[in-house]
Structure formats: C-alpha cells, structure tokens
C-alpha cells in the first residue's frame, strides 16, 4: 500500500475511534441517568454537576443524545467505512492505489474539521445543540439560540462533504479504473459500490436541507419556521431529512453485508452461495431505499393513501434482505468453519441482523407503529441494525484491512471471545429497549421514576446499563490487544 494512502487510512481510523469513544461515553451517561435517576455517578457525577443530584442536569440531557447520535453516525461509522474502503478496495480491483487518493485526503481533512466544530458546539456558551441527531425544525431553527446549533450544522455539513468526496473516489475506482471484470469482483466491492451510489444521490439533499436551516437561522428566511412571523412548514424538513436519512441506513450497512458474505465464504473455503442473487438484492435495496423513507412519518399526519403506500414499500424492501440471509445459510450449509477471527464477528453480526430485521416489521405496519412510534422500541430496533450489526461488521472488516497495513491482529481466541462479548453486550443493551417500548416507555426520557407505570420497568433499564458497561469494556480490551500487536 502506498505510504500516503496508509497514513490517510490510519488517521481516518484514529478519528473514527475518537468519535466512537466520545459517543460511547455519552451513551454511558444516558444509560446511567435512565437506570439510576437522581443518583450521581460516583466521582464523575460530583465533578460534572456538583449542585445536581443526578448524573446530568435536565437542561443538558437533550444535548447528550443529540451529540451521541451525531458522533456515532457522522464521525465514527462514516469515516471508518471510508478508511476501510481505502484499504480494502484497490487490491480487489487489481490496483495499488485508488483512482483519486487526494479525494480521501480531502475527506479526512473535512472529517477532522467537522469533529473540531462539533467539539466547539459541545462547549458553546449558550449550550450544546439539543434537538436530536435529526435536527428537526422548529427546534433547530432560530428558536434554538446560541452558536451550538450553527456549529452542529457546519460540522454535519463537513462530514457530508467528506463522505461525498470519498464516494466519488470509490465510484471512480470501481467503475473507471478497475482491472478486474464485474463477474470476478467480490461482494464487498459491490457493497461499497451501491453505498457510494446512495451517497452521491442523497447526500446533496441533506446538504441542501442544512443550507435551508442555516438560512432560516441567520438570513431571516422562513423555509421551515420563523420565530417572528408566520411561514414555512416544519414537515417539509422532515421529508428532506428522511429522504436522506433512510438511505443512510443502507449506506452504512451495504458494505457490511458484502463483507459478511466474503468473510463467511473464506472461512469455509468456498465462493459465496447465490452471489448473483445477492448483487441483485443489493441493487433492489438501493433502488427501494429512496422510496420507503415515509415510514418515519406514518404518524405525522400524511394522507391515508401515502401512509398505505409507504407501508407497502417498507414491507417490500424486506424481501431483498432475505436474499442475504439465504446466501449466508447456503454458504455455511454442510461446511466446516476453520478458525477465523473475521468469521466469528460475521456470525455474530448475522444473528443480530436477523433479529433486528424482525423487530422492524411491527414498525412498518401502521396499526402497530401508532403505538410504538417514538418509543424505546424504535431505539432498540435501529440500534440492533445500525449499531450492533454495523459494529460487528466493521470489526470483521478491520481484521483484513489492518493486516494489509502490517498490524498484527490479536489471537483467534481473543478475537472470538471479543466477538461474542460484543454480541452479548449489544443484545443485553438493546433487547431491554424492546421490552421498555412495549411497556410504553418513550424515547428521550429523562427520569423514568416520575411515571408510576414505568416504575416496574426500572430493572430493565438497569440491566441495559450493566450490559452497556460490559460492551464498552470489551471494546477497550480489544483496542489494547490491537495496540500490543502493533508494538
């Protein structure tokens, strides 16, 4: 690998690790507050809020989940996929370097600038942004005072521009510069291809929505809402955001799907089963992902015809996903797995993805979504799919990628233990959220003890918090093992 590309990839991975670490710390603060409301964290709670009796102040609590979601999506998973694509893709297509490596260097600079702006937003004198990672209007318009919200807009725009540049480089490498025919490309390459296509199509829509929000905040326009005069429609922002926001799920998971297929195939020493069907399923998911975004708005007051259409399309997009599961089962059927660390992560990811996908069916149906919408059930579902599955997929991809950089992986026993500790920790965190949602617990809740009907569910909150501590500890041990291997 070219030294400049190696340096870019390593720095991008380090930035992603920094983002994931910050996001994990914020999630632990959220989990402590939910499990032990009114009780400060030993030592840390008194240091952060000496005049407050809980883990965090009520006024600061919305900023925690705002920054947690923002950091994890835009400054952890997104740069990690960019770095892993830079490392893994050129050898797959018969090249030593990507087509335009300078684009990945520019993307790294934008990720770093965005991360710095987000840190400044956290320290803003008028408070950090507190409108959720979706920045829904009118919470994110001029009604949200201070520089924190504006810095958030600029930070996410930097991340989006960086991802856009990296996607241009990946598409150029795969479509124009490759020396391998399409029929011989691994499924990982197709995953990056379709994810980059979605980035190029839908990131400009997110950037446009952010530009309109910036205009509403600082130029006196009223595209969504205005604090002093009537005008605008906050629902328009919801449409613009989710036109990007739902394909973003597949932008993050498509490369993982391809990597899981290749990893399991290598572990049993046979080609992936139903490979053409998997590629067709990726193409179908890419096409349908732009048509199902409205299931995020089933309770927003859309016309019944639109609601039923989005429900039907959401159920339809689940069909191509079954092709991946069928391929993984067929690949493993009758085969013996050889000891392989990446396969351990892949098996755990497959199990969690199937579970997470099944929990999405009730949210696709209008009748059940009216009850479950905006509840902890939704949080459990998308964390199973977007957090746990993607995390395990990234861990599987990192073993191959870092080996190309000459960084020795931990032993198979350590990697296998880490894979299943991560899987069990993730299930321990997110499965209780499903139970809490069924019990009526809303998301973004500050103090569950204030509600009598939620008191019997407090043990589930504490179980999830204990599992979150296990999950974070497992990642720290894994990073230490990698560091020892590097030395």
- How high is the pLDDT of residue 482? 78
* CA gyration radius, the chain: 22
Average pLDDT (204-232) is: 84
Q: What is the pLDDT of residues 118-170, one digit of tens each?
A: 999 988 877 788 888 999 888 888 766 778 899 999 999 999 999 999 999 99
Average pLDDT (448-462) is: 91
- How high is the pLDDT of residue 46? 47
Q: Which pLDDT band, with edges at 50, 70 and 90, does 403 fall under?
A: confident
How far CA 116 is from CA of 19, 109, 111, 335, in Å, comes to: 11, 11, 9, 48
Q: What is the pLDDT of residues 35-69, one digit of tens each?
A: 998 887 765 554 455 555 567 888 888 999 999 99
- How high is the pLDDT of residue 54? 65
Q: What is the pLDDT of residues 176-201, one digit of tens each?
A: 888 888 888 999 999 999 999 999 99
Q: Does pLDDT of 485 surpass 70?
A: no
Domain boundaries, the chain: 3-486
Of the candidates 141, 79, 82, 147, which has an alpha carbon nearest to the alpha carbon of residue 119? 147
- Over the chain, what is the mean pLDDT? 89
Q: What is the pLDDT of residues 413-454, one digit of tens each?
A: 888 999 999 999 999 999 999 999 999 999 999 989 889 999
Say if pTM beats, i.e. exceeds, 0.85: yes
- How high is the pLDDT of residue 49? 52
- How high is the pLDDT of residue 300? 87
Contact predicate 290/247, CB 8 Å: yes
Task: Pull the structure tokens for residue 211.
Answer: 């530009």
- How high is the pLDDT of residue 151? 93
Distance in angstroms (rounded) separating the CA atoms of residues 356 and 348: 12
- How high is the pLDDT of residue 138? 84
Q: What is the pLDDT of residues 341-392, one digit of tens each?
A: 889 999 999 999 999 999 999 999 999 999 999 999 999 999 999 899 999 9
Task: Pull the structure tokens for residue 128.
Answer: 């950090």
Check whether domain 3-486 has CATH 1.20.210.10, yes or no: yes
Q: At what angle are helices 187-218 and 234-268 packed, to 10 degrees?
A: 160
Q: What is the pLDDT of residues 255-280, one digit of tens each?
A: 999 999 999 999 999 999 999 999 99
Average pLDDT (221-247) is: 83
How far CA 363 is from CA of 165, 183, 293, 369, in Å, comes to: 34, 37, 13, 5
């Amino acid at each position: 690998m070219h030294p400049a590309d190696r340096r870019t990839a390593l720095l991008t991975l380090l930035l992603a690790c920094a983002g994931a670490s910050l996001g994990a710390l914020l999630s632990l603060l959220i989990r402590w507050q939910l499990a032990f409301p009114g009780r400060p964290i030993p030592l840390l709670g008194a240091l952060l809020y000496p005049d407050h009796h809980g883990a965090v102040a009520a006024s600061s609590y919305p900023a925690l989940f705002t920054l947690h979601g923002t950091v994890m999506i835009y400054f952890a998973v997104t740069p990690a996929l960019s770095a892993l694509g830079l490392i893994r893709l050129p050898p797959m297509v018969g090249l030593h370097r990507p087509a335009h490596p300078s684009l990945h260097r520019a993307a790294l600079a934008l990720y770093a600038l965005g991360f710095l702006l987000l840190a400044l937003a956290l320290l803003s004198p008028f408070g950090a942004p507190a409108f959720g990672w979706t920045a829904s209007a009118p919470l994110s318009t001029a009604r949200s005072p201070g520089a924190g919200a504006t810095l958030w807009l600029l930070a996410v725009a930097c991340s989006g521009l960086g991802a856009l540049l990296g996607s241009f480089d990946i598409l150029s490498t795969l479509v124009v510069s490759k020396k391998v025919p399409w029929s011989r490309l691994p499924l990982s390459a197709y995953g990056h291809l379709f994810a980059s296509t979605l980035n190029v199509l839908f990131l400009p829509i997110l950037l446009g929505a952010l530009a309109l929000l910036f205009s509403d905040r600082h130029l006196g326009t009223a595209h969504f809402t205005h604090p002093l005069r009537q005008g605008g429609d906050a629902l328009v922002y919801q449409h613009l955001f989710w036109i990007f926001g739902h394909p973003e799920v597949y932008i993050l998971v498509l490369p993982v799907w391809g990597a899981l297929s290749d990893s399991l195939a290598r572990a049993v020493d046979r080609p992936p089963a139903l490979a053409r069907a998997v590629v067709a399923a990726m193409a179908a998911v890419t096409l349908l992902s732009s048509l199902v975004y409205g299931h995020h708005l089933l309770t927003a007051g859309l016309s019944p015809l639109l609601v039923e259409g989005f429900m039907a399309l959401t159920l339809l997009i689940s069909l191509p996903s079954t092709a991946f599961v069928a391929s993984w089962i067929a690949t493993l059927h009758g085969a013996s797995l050889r000891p392989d660390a990446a396969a351990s992560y892949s098996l755990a990811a497959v199990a969690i993805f199937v579970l997470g996908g099944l929990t999405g069916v009730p949210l696709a149906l209008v009748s059940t979504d009216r009850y479950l919408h905006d509840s902890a059930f939704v949080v459990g579902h998308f964390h199973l799919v977007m957090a746990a599955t993607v995390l395990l997929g990234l861990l599987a991809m990192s073993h191959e990628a870092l080996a190309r950089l000459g960084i020795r992986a931990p032993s198979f026993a350590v990697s296998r233990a880490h894979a299943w500790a991560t899987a069990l920790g993730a299930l321990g965190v997110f499965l209780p959220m499903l139970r809490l949602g069924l019990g009526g617990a809303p998301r973004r809740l500050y103090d569950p003890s204030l509600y009598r009907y939620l008191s019997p569910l407090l043990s589930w909150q504490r179980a999830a918090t204990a599992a979150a501590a296990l999950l974070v500890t497992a990642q720290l041990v894994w990073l230490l093992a990698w560091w020892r291997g590097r030395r």
